[in-house]
Structure 1
């Protein structure tokens, strides 16, 4: 069952911050401008309250300094919570003791500082016993996603961040960081609770965590931070939703909903992870807990319908590096993983990441009394190295598949459905009781905090009808927390466009988001490149008589491109012919936003004929600029011919793990007579924080592509997931390796290679059912196979002509 917000009792609620209302304030000072605020803060004393007038506060640097007491804190608050809007280039800094900031909303802006909100003014002035509550930061981003700043930086000791709302961060930098730089900031006892961390899209490189506690350099210092009762929904910035990089922290009663990543114990020791709920709803790449380092306890957690594999599994226990530097992987040891329940998830990962560097398997690690239910015929675990250092006992498998390891017993569990969303073992479960083994230090409470009278494997007591706290907690602000921007109602307005000079540009000026521009047969002459600033569709009226888009002859300066897609938009091109042919050929058919634009975009090309982009000064049919990121680039049922280069996604050459598109999908498409490569999709470096890109090629033909010395057809350096299937590679006589795949998730299958070298695979990549045979065309230009073609003798190889009619 898909668990929705309606099923979950967790919600953004109206909470009464009664403790503030009960305090007797010495002075109440109302301010309406930054000058009035600065004047008031200079003389503020314990018990005073400064009230910011409702409305917009633009380009303000709020510095809150003062010395309150526990009985008489200094409070800085909005006149009405949620009605003081901090916009433009603004920030908030807090230094002193017993300070409370309440009710501010940072929106429609960015900051030129290192953080939007910081619990310090400088290295000598920082906050203690202070609080940020009932505030929001939403979509507070710079123009470039490469610009790094944090939303909240927590310094000092004994500070609290609670009942806030954070959503929509698109630029580099962790959403919330706890810093441990200096004696004044270690063993800090901070509390991060009852916050709502909303959607964070994939960043495409390292630095997209939602919470980080510490850094690699100080990861062996004690933080003692508690992270509890928070919601993390669609936090997809990178693999580490939470990155633990310090010691002695607690993570409990948090809800992770449809978030593409894991709670990661990246560095540091002796952390407690208990009673958290991870719900994936079968969404891709959703995960649970990843374990590195020593002395952790992971217990009473519930994982449901998680699909992530590799480092995004439901439970991932890593291999370590001998004599590991601070920023790599310390060996897992003295870790206790008990009484977790895993329901219909992808396999747990044991000794994950094993390679020549990560060669140390976990030692003295207990994996006990965990309950795994799977009625989807899914595998239980993936083992990457020897398990000698594990102690397995009391683990229960209610599944079709077993796991050939002592300490795991197949048992048919009697389940009850709590509120039709949760599986709870019934009181009548003798076999479950019998095969659970409370050795060592068994957990005394279950996931709901109920005492365990009868000990059984899993997170739940038998017959317990209480919901976990993570599903009934109250998170977010006291005011209307529906703070995500209102999505415009998209109406598919159809605009008929006549052939002619400039007619397409004029029509686009009238188009709004969602518009469909219908082009009649004929020629559409461009005098300038077109910037696409709304999500639109441009399509020909007929699949056969495609309208022709070309650039006007004789211009003093030719445009560089036909279409530039702006950030945050989607461009669909359908049933079009686009020609770059001129005396000096046009460089690009489509380009990404300009360098460093933060918002992702998408391009979909269907049934288009794109040709004669032959400018040898770096031209290509499609180019993604450095620092930009496409959610999806899709090319289907199309033909790309007589061009210098095909798809260029190779600008990110800093080798820091960045790449230019999350998914590249090519189906039923011809690449013919291309001087260099058809696709160049690059991801350099060893960064492991992202999904790493995905290229899917199906039922396509590559003919005379990259037919030069040291040429190639497809360049996929560092891309994690490559799936090439049912395709033909031919007539690239000088090519040695048309495809060079590296990594376990790289594969090529059911393909024909003819006069085009041989496929090369290394580092676990696979090649299956490759035929080095003549494809035998009946129509060589349109790649229609003859009756005797090997393309027709197995699963269909080559074009799907029924889709190209």
Structure 2
């Protein structure tokens, strides 16, 4: 039979009609309950749509299984996007082919499983060619931030996560993970695009990444995931905003806005990082790209107003570990860092992290045609090891500071501004054209995707008036998924309390959040410890004798503390005396939330007198329990004396890099007659994901503290930032080192040490203007210096009595 053109056309039309007929058989099923959904999913076919009716779906475990096709996917979607609220203990799992999840909002709930949304049902059933789109997960957190589960777990191959909105993750666990466990998840070609990743507060320990692709164990396998066109705003969970732990991934056209961390090539090789924009707006700890491992190409990125240092610099090239295990640092090799523009940023970091372990400097690494512009007189780069393995050429410095290495040229660039936002080099730029150097295969396009004509250093073509794609993104959901915490003006309610037995506790029971409890002079006797379940200020009058807080004598069961601050709350104590002097003193003045309750809390103590906490069974003025975390602990203008221990923040002993407080401030305060230490602030292990704690001590006096064999005044092991200044350490003659500092962010300056050993400073720590002299007090009890005191000459050392009074 001869096949004619007419037959061919007829056959094609018939096939088209057949496909139309098949698609018309697709079902649209509306469900209102989890039972209806479970029944509908049992018989779902290609092209079917299951519509979840608007409203709240609480405590639901949605399991989506089915086989769709590229032309006829199976779709699970909200009746109206954003109006199906998934709350309570809820999750979604999917397995099959060509599945689409659309329009759901996981809001104000939590998951008791390993993920909120997972592209697999179990280890044998997972999703391929499937999509999560136009959905949101907001504040889907458990009670304790130490509980680890992921919000999104991507398994299988050829899946897409796009146009979603994720914000408010406060607990342990990466926001989105791509898994490569098993052959069926390698070379997966996933795409993560056009999502908005919103605010994530500092976690305080490892596990606060926003995206992680792979794990250390499988980091030499290829994922081939593309992460593009996303926004990362205030993603501050830890140092690694994105943690690359696999090979052949692409990070392109993403915007990082005021995020306290970096895109980290932690493990894995041969990744492409191009045309991303990092804007810090001079916010602290904001960074760019950290480079580890081999074969990466980093080009056409823009860094602006980033302030992060160390591992949070604008570009950080790390040292490696010889014969490194999978979970440490492989040497940087065969990496190209070219045509990036860095404007008003903190220094670039070369050979960062060099120590006895990380002793391998980068090898065969090209750093070329980068344009560095500073209007703030900032330093260009910090170098920690030999640069022999770098090849520098064509780098332009429009800066006051110089970087005296071949391949860097100072030149005056002729700048224009785009809408008073972006610095763009003008067309007329003789110095820039002359000193840029083409070598090998040049970068063909600039950051806007425009073909390069005249080749110059930096991310932009000369005179380019286009914005980078990262600044034009329409990321997130099609509907309004923004969650703005309600800002209500709180007028503090003032409550008066009278002296007496139990009167303080009863008054606090009535105190609403944010209230001020005013105490008259007199004695307030506690018959039990008080839990601070609302943020409150307890305040005595500055014009009258301090109110005195004591524990009732003769109690059958004595409390262990005066105050316990609950998670998420703050306690302020002003102008109060807390007196534990007794035949059987109680342990603590203030304690953190109970063990493992890690919602951040704060304690502020001002102009207080705390004494008598001599309980030698582990007692201290303040105790932070294991697994808790304080945003701030501040003791100012106060006197702490006659105690067994001072501030105890040393319970995180697992060497996992955890610590108990982000910031500790001691200012204009006396620590006197403390049996052991004034402060034990501990961070163990070599985890580098966090800021690592910050201790600030100013104008304080430490007298007869830790005066025992092997004693010390301040324990600060592992704390990254320690700044001690204008203070006096005395009368601890058995102490060898009152302070032992380690690391380049540990500093003691302008202090007096007398009968108290010597300061020890190692690993880059500094001790400057430390005077080993007798302070010569006029009034030894109140630490007022005599006319002959060296403190008088220095003027800034010791207590500031004009403030204290």
Q: Which residue of the partner structure matches residue 387 of structure 2? A: 387
The residue correspondences of 1:436-515 to structure 2 (distance < 5 A) are 436-515=436-515
Distance 2:25 2:556 in 1: 72
User: How far off its partner does 1:503 sit?
Assistant: 2.5
Verify: 1:121 aligned to 2:107, yes or no.
Answer: no
Q: What are the Cα deviations for residues 289-327 of structure 1, in whole angstroms up to 9, with x where unaligned?
A: 000111111111111111111111000001111111111
Contact 1:543 1:575 in 2 (8 A): no
User: How far off its partner does 1:43 sit?
Assistant: 0.6
Verify: 1:260 aligned to 2:263, yes or no.
Answer: no
Q: What are the Cα deviations for residues 491-520 of structure 1, in whole angstroms up to 9, with x where unaligned?
A: 222222222222222222232222222222
User: How far off its partner does 1:541 sit?
Assistant: 2.3
Q: Which residue of the partner structure matches residue 700 of structure 2? A: 700
Distance 1:420 1:562 in 2: 56
User: How far off its partner does 1:24 sit?
Assistant: 6.6
- Larger deviation, residues 375-384 vs 530-539: 530-539
Contact 1:612 1:641 in 2 (8 A): yes
User: How far off its partner does 1:286 sit?
Assistant: 0.8
User: How far off its partner does 1:368 sit?
Assistant: 0.7
Choose between structure 1 and 2 for higher RCO, CA contacts under 8 A separated by at least 6 residues. 1
- CA spacing shift, 1:487–1:531, aligned 2, 3 Å: farther
Contact 1:167 1:484 in 2 (8 A): no
Distance 1:673 1:544 in 2: 27
The residue correspondences of 1:221-236 to structure 2 (distance < 5 A) are 221-236=221-236
Contact 1:301 1:341 in 2 (8 A): yes
Q: What are the Cα deviations for residues 448-503 of structure 1, in whole angstroms up to 9, with x where unaligned?
A: 11111111111111121211111110111122222244344422222222222222
- Larger deviation, residues 409-418 vs 156-165: 409-418
User: How far off its partner does 1:25 sit?
Assistant: 7.6
Contact 2:538 2:573 in 1 (8 A): yes
Contact 1:170 1:598 in 2 (8 A): no
Q: Which residue of the partner structure matches residue 14 of structure 2? A: none
Verify: 1:596 aligned to 2:624, yes or no.
Answer: no
Q: What are the Cα deviations for residues 181-215 of structure 1, in whole angstroms up to 9, with x where unaligned?
A: 11100110101111111111111111111100001
- Larger deviation, residues 703-712 vs 487-496: 487-496
User: How far off its partner does 1:119 sit?
Assistant: 0.3
The residue correspondences of 1:786-805 to structure 2 (distance < 5 A) are 786-805=786-805
Q: Which residue of the partner structure matches residue 182 of structure 2? A: 182
Q: Which residue of the partner structure matches residue 684 of structure 2? A: 684
- Larger deviation, residues 158-167 vs 25-34: 25-34
Distance 1:396 1:556 in 2: 76
Verify: 1:290 aligned to 2:281, yes or no.
Answer: no
Distance 1:759 1:262 in 2: 34
Q: Which residue of the partner structure matches residue 57 of structure 1? A: 57
User: How far off its partner does 1:108 sit?
Assistant: 2.2
Distance 1:511 1:626 in 2: 29
RMSD between superposed Cα atoms in Å = 1.3
Distance 1:274 1:203 in 2: 28
Distance 2:521 2:482 in 1: 46
The residue correspondences of 1:338-417 to structure 2 (distance < 5 A) are 338-417=338-417
Partner SS, residue 702 of structure 1: strand
Contact 2:95 2:127 in 1 (8 A): yes
Q: Which residue of the partner structure matches residue 421 of structure 2? A: 421
Q: Which residue of the partner structure matches residue 5 of structure 1? A: none
Partner SS, residue 357 of structure 1: coil
Q: Which residue of the partner structure matches residue 629 of structure 1? A: 629
Contact 1:580 1:586 in 2 (8 A): yes
Structure 2 unaligned residues grouped into runs of 5+: 1-22
Partner SS, residue 403 of structure 1: coil
Q: Which residue of the partner structure matches residue 88 of structure 1? A: 88
Partner SS, residue 109 of structure 1: coil
Normalised TM-score (structure 1) = 0.96
Q: Which residue of the partner structure matches residue 761 of structure 1? A: 761
Q: What are the Cα deviations for residues 396-443 of structure 1, in whole angstroms up to 9, with x where unaligned?
A: 111111100011111111212212221111222111111111222211
Give the paired residue count. 783
- CA spacing shift, 1:672–1:154, aligned 2, 3 Å: same
- Larger deviation, residues 60-69 vs 77-86: 77-86
In our comparison, the structure showing a higher alpha carbon Rg is 2
Structure 1 unaligned residues grouped into runs of 5+: 1-22
Q: Which residue of the partner structure matches residue 645 of structure 2? A: 645
Verify: 1:541 aligned to 2:521, yes or no.
Answer: no
User: How far off its partner does 1:94 sit?
Assistant: 0.7
Distance 1:689 1:568 in 2: 23
Partner SS, residue 145 of structure 2: coil
Distance 2:288 2:568 in 1: 29
Distance 1:100 1:795 in 2: 70
Distance 1:634 1:371 in 2: 42
Q: Which residue of the partner structure matches residue 554 of structure 1? A: 554
Distance 1:714 1:573 in 2: 24
Q: Which residue of the partner structure matches residue 322 of structure 1? A: 322
- CA spacing shift, 1:155–1:163, aligned 2, 3 Å: same
- Larger deviation, residues 549-558 vs 279-288: 549-558
Partner SS, residue 285 of structure 2: coil
- Larger deviation, residues 668-677 vs 603-612: 603-612
Q: Which residue of the partner structure matches residue 725 of structure 1? A: 725
Contact 2:232 2:259 in 1 (8 A): yes
Distance 1:643 1:95 in 2: 61
Distance 2:140 2:154 in 1: 18
- CA spacing shift, 1:582–1:54, aligned 2, 3 Å: farther
Partner SS, residue 724 of structure 2: strand
- Larger deviation, residues 104-113 vs 493-502: 493-502
The residue correspondences of 1:567-578 to structure 2 (distance < 5 A) are 567-578=567-578
Partner SS, residue 357 of structure 2: coil
- Larger deviation, residues 40-49 vs 490-499: 490-499
- Larger deviation, residues 606-615 vs 210-219: 606-615
Normalised TM-score (structure 2) = 0.96
Q: Which residue of the partner structure matches residue 334 of structure 1? A: 334
Q: Which residue of the partner structure matches residue 28 of structure 2? A: 28
Q: What are the Cα deviations for residues 114-145 of structure 1, in whole angstroms up to 9, with x where unaligned?
A: 11111001111000010111111112122222
The residue correspondences of 1:296-311 to structure 2 (distance < 5 A) are 296-311=296-311
Q: Which residue of the partner structure matches residue 711 of structure 2? A: 711
User: How far off its partner does 1:732 sit?
Assistant: 0.9
Contact 2:521 2:544 in 1 (8 A): no
Q: Which residue of the partner structure matches residue 670 of structure 1? A: 670
Q: What are the Cα deviations for residues 346-385 of structure 1, in whole angstroms up to 9, with x where unaligned?
A: 1000111111211111111111111101121111000111
- CA spacing shift, 1:276–1:722, aligned 2, 3 Å: same
Distance 2:435 2:259 in 1: 33
User: How far off its partner does 1:104 sit?
Assistant: 1.4
Distance 1:740 1:34 in 2: 60
Q: Which residue of the partner structure matches residue 16 of structure 2? A: none
Distance 1:165 1:656 in 2: 31
Distance 1:593 1:488 in 2: 26
Partner SS, residue 722 of structure 1: strand
User: How far off its partner does 1:394 sit?
Assistant: 0.8
Q: What are the Cα deviations for residues 44-103 of structure 1, in whole angstroms up to 9, with x where unaligned?
A: 111111111222222211100000111111111112222222222211101001101111
Distance 2:484 2:734 in 1: 54
Q: Which residue of the partner structure matches residue 16 of structure 1? A: none
Distance 2:479 2:555 in 1: 57
Distance 2:426 2:612 in 1: 69
Contact 1:61 1:92 in 2 (8 A): yes
Q: What are the Cα deviations for residues 247-282 of structure 1, in whole angstroms up to 9, with x where unaligned?
A: 010001111111111000001111110111111111
Contact 2:63 2:93 in 1 (8 A): yes
User: How far off its partner does 1:544 sit?
Assistant: 5.2
Contact 1:300 1:447 in 2 (8 A): yes
Distance 1:685 1:589 in 2: 30
Partner SS, residue 110 of structure 1: coil
Partner SS, residue 793 of structure 1: helix
Partner SS, residue 517 of structure 1: strand
Distance 2:281 2:523 in 1: 48
